[in-house]
């Protein structure tokens, strides 16, 4: 951190981050990072930040950006396609040169970002190298695979397939702009000629036929090609919660950069991004990106405000939408909700917590921020940030582990005036249980029963695609939990679950006594509902003692709110919560 700095910038509707070496000595070559799309983008967010930091620490100013219609950038017009994403990359390269003074550009692209990088190589004369990883060689096949994956995920979660809008290219609720999907489906990287005139580092996914064929063509056409195996690809992209930064790839990139882009010189002025302030403006809102810095942390925030905003407008703070989903949300749902709230007159702040997305610091390997004091303090840091800037009442919004953090902070911090808790799996973390991902499941007993009767599960079982030992341990833990749940109402202090229940109820009583509205939103079949029954009774009869609690559910969905109707229902709840605070403020003034 001491050798580099990172600051947010914005231009032509695009949101970006530029990382650079501190001081005047830096390389004449900058690096432009072109992102993948969808689930790969969410998995790679922290990787791109880590890669940018490593490159910047070695003297290479580096810029990463969001394409229009993705994460923090503004939405495109309906007729904007892949060419507009490429033009956005071109503009980003120009901005990087303008900010840093670098004279040449190396472009890095993974997945769909490799397609954008390939296009840039054919039209820019200032490119001095390219790094391509796991490219989409055949666009039609890629779009088909995305659509099949979306269908498979619905089937796995037992969501009716008629709820999947097959007119769109989407995965996990993340929708690719229609014209972009059309253009990508017609794209083939079957002519690597544009990349053979510059040094190229190519990361191939082992036995992937497309990668192998593409690498063979590159080698046949150029002596400037270095091919390395991308053996960390699956660990990076298989699952958002467990995604691992590919440090071997980063080390290879740095070594190749030093070999092919070695020059370094003193520039007359330090890097200056002031001419590209990190503010995006639309018809109904403005968004400002900023880092909130404390003695040990640097947390990325994006504040969304109505264009016309009253001083006491309510403020909503969104935690990460699950485990390590970044601030935009797994399906860009935090962005969509924030902009809807702005249209309704409310302010919102979304942020990355420690060890997540674009925020610092990282934790040591194996250490989690989830269900920890660290994540609670992250929320507090953002509440401090909000309270210093805005006068309105503060609402915390969390799903899964971030709901846990929001709940704990609200019970401690009287500045919090409302809570929205989505599919919360823990109210108290058992101090005897290690804070480990394998203890953070969300399947209910009913869900396990469904899966055991699913013929697809039997097929996967016979094919050896299911880890029987891990599944058995998961079921055993759940059965142990159910036994404790049955004992707890009669002997509340006999089990650790009973003692944790009493502790959680004390926190709920604190919120009730402060008259803090608590809106609980759950997916039918989710384990979060069983937890509520433990605390409030099998028919939620104890809710009658907590008039401040509202409870609503959504069916035909999953823990992550993948279907459109589930995310729309949550946005409706947020808008109602904002309206309630505005109505309360109006009554108080009158």
Identify the structural domains of the chain with CATH numbers, from first to last.
4-137+191-262 (3.40.50.1820), 284-436+500-589 (3.40.50.1820)
Tell me what pLDDT residue 299 has. Answer: 97
Spatial CA neighbour of 48 closest among 212, 292, 322, 243? 243
User: Are the beta carbons of 149 and 78 closer than 8 angstroms?
Assistant: no
Distance CA 405, CA 396 (A): 9
Q: Which of 29-43, 176-190, 289-303 has the lowest mean pLDDT?
A: 176-190
The answer on pLDDT for 435 being more than 90 is: no
User: Are the beta carbons of 503 and 428 closer than 8 angstroms?
Assistant: yes
Question: What are the backbone angles phi and psi of residue 3, rounded to the nearest 5°?
Answer: -90, -15
Buried b (16+ CB within 10 A) or exposed e, 554-588: bebbbbbbbbbebbbbbbebbbebbebbbeebeee
Residue that is written with structure tokens 């003695």 in the block: 295
- Per residue in 377-390, pLDDT (tens digit) is 999 999 999 999 99
- The model's pTM is 0.91
Distance CA 271, CA 340 (A): 36
Spatial CA neighbour of 71 closest among 277, 258, 425, 350? 350
Q: Which of 213-217, 316-320, 545-549 has the lowest mean pLDDT?
A: 213-217
The reply to whether omega before 361 is within 30° of 0 (cis) is yes
Distance CA 416, CA 317 (A): 10
Spatial CA neighbour of 217 closest among 132, 279, 320? 132
Distance CA 328, CA 558 (A): 19
- Per residue in 91-141, pLDDT (tens digit) is 999 999 999 999 999 999 999 999 999 999 888 999 999 999 999 999 999
The answer on pLDDT for 459 being more than 80 is: no
Spatial CA neighbour of 136 closest among 163, 158, 116, 161? 116
The answer on pLDDT for 396 being more than 70 is: yes
Percent of the chain exceeding pLDDT 70 equals 88
Q: Which of 256-265, 338-347, 457-466 has the lowest mean pLDDT?
A: 457-466
- Per residue in 473-501, pLDDT (tens digit) is 555 656 665 565 666 666 566 677 888 88
Distance CA 422, CA 395 (A): 13
Tell me what pLDDT residue 110 has. Answer: 98
Alpha-carbon separation of residue 303 from 130, 292, 300 (angstroms): 34, 12, 10
pLDDT: is 146 or 443 the higher one?
146
The answer on pLDDT for 587 being more than 70 is: no
The answer on pLDDT for 306 being more than 60 is: yes
Say which DSSP state 223 is in: S
Tokens linked to 403: 């709901």
The pLDDT confidence band at residue 2, using thresholds 50, 70 and 90, is very low
Question: What are the backbone angles phi and psi of residue 416, rounded to the nearest 5°?
Answer: -80, 125
Tell me what pLDDT residue 36 has. Answer: 98
Average pLDDT, the chain: 90
Q: Which helix (H) or strand (E) holds 281?
A: strand 279-281
Mean pLDDT of 209-233: 90
Mean pLDDT of 260-273: 88
- Per residue in 550-564, pLDDT (tens digit) is 999 999 999 999 999
Give the DSSP per-residue string, 127-186. EEEEEEEEE--BHHHHHHHHHHHHHHHHHHTT--GGGS-TTSEEETTEEEPHHHHHHHHT
Tokens linked to 408: 């704990």
pLDDT: is 122 or 585 the higher one?
122
Alpha-carbon separation of residue 376 from 13, 380, 436, 473, 512 (angstroms): 33, 6, 17, 29, 20
Mean pLDDT of 555-583: 95
- Per residue in 356-371, pLDDT (tens digit) is 999 999 988 778 889 9
Spatial CA neighbour of 131 closest among 264, 6, 254? 254
């Amino acid at each position: 951190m001491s050798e580099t700095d990172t600051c947010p910038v914005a231009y032509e509707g695009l949101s970006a981050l530029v990382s650079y070496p501190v001081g005047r000595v830096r390389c004449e070559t900058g690096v432009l990072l072109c992102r993948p799309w969808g689930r790969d983008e969410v998995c790679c967010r922290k990787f791109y930040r880590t890669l940018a930091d490593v490159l910047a620490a070695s003297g290479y100013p580096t810029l990463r950006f969001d394409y229009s219609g993705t994460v923090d950038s503004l939405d495109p017009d309906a007729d904007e396609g892949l060419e507009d994403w490429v033009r956005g990359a071109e503009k980003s390269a120009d901005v990087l040169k303008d900010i840093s003074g670098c004279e040449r550009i190396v472009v890095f692209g993974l997945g769909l970002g490799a397609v954008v990088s390939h296009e840039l190589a054919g039209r820019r004369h200032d490119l001095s190298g390219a790094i391509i990883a796991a490219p989409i060689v055949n666009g039609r096949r890629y779009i088909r695979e995305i659509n099949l994956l979306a269908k498979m995920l619905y089937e796995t979660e037992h969501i009716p397939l008629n709820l999947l809008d097959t007119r769109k290219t989407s995965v996990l609720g993340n929708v690719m702009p229609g014209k972009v999907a059309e253009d990508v489906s017609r794209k083939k990287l079957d002519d690597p000629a544009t990349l053979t005139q510059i040094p190229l580092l190519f990361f191939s996914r082992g036995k992937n036929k497309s990668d192998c064929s593409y690498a063979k063509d590159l080698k046949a056409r150029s002596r400037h090609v270095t091919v390395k195996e991308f053996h960390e690809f699956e660990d990076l992209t298989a699952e958002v919660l467990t995604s691992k930064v590919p440090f071997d790839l980063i080390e290879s990139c740095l070594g190749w950069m030093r070999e092919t882009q070695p020059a370094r010189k003193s520039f007359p002025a330090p890097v200056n991004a002031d001419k590209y302030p990190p503010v995006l403006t639309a018809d109904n809102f403005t968004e400002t990106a900023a880092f909130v810095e404390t003695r040990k942390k640097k947390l990325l925030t994006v504040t969304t405000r109505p264009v016309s905003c009253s001083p006491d407008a309510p403020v909503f703070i969104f935690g990460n939408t699950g485990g390590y989903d970044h601030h935009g949300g797994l399906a860009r749902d935090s962005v969509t909700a924030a902009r809807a709230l702005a249209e309704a007159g409310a302010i919102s702040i979304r942020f990355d917590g420690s060890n997540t997305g674009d925020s610092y610091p990282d934790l040591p390997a194996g250490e989690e921020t989830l269900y920890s004091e660290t994540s609670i303090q992250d929320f507090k840091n953002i509440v401090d940030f909000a309270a210093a800037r805005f006068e309105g009442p503060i609402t915390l919004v969390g799903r899964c582990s971030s709901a846990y953090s929001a709940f704990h902070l609200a019970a401690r911090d009287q500045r919090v005036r409302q809570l929205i808790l989505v599919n919360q799996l823990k109210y108290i973390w058992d101090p005897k249980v290690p804070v480990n991902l394998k203890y953070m499941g969300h399947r209910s007993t009913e869900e396990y029963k469904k899966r055991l009767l699913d013929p697809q599960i039997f097929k996967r079982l016979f094919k050896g695609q299911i880890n029987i030992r891990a599944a058995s341990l998961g079921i055993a833990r759940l059965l142990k939990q159910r036994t404790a749940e049955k004992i707890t109402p009669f002997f509340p202090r006999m089990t650790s679950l009973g003692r944790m229940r009493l502790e959680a109820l004390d926190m709920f009583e604190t919120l009730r006594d402060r008259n803090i509205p608590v809106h609980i939103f759950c997916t039918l079949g989710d384990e979060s509902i069983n937890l509520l029954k433990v605390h409030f009774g099998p028919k939620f009869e104890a809710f009658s003692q907590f008039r401040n609690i509202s409870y609503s559910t959504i069916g035909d969905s999953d823990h992550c709110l993948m279907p459109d109707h589930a995310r729309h229902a949550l946005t409706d709840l947020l808008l109602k919560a904002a309206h309630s605070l505005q109505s309360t403020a109006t009554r108080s003034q009158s």
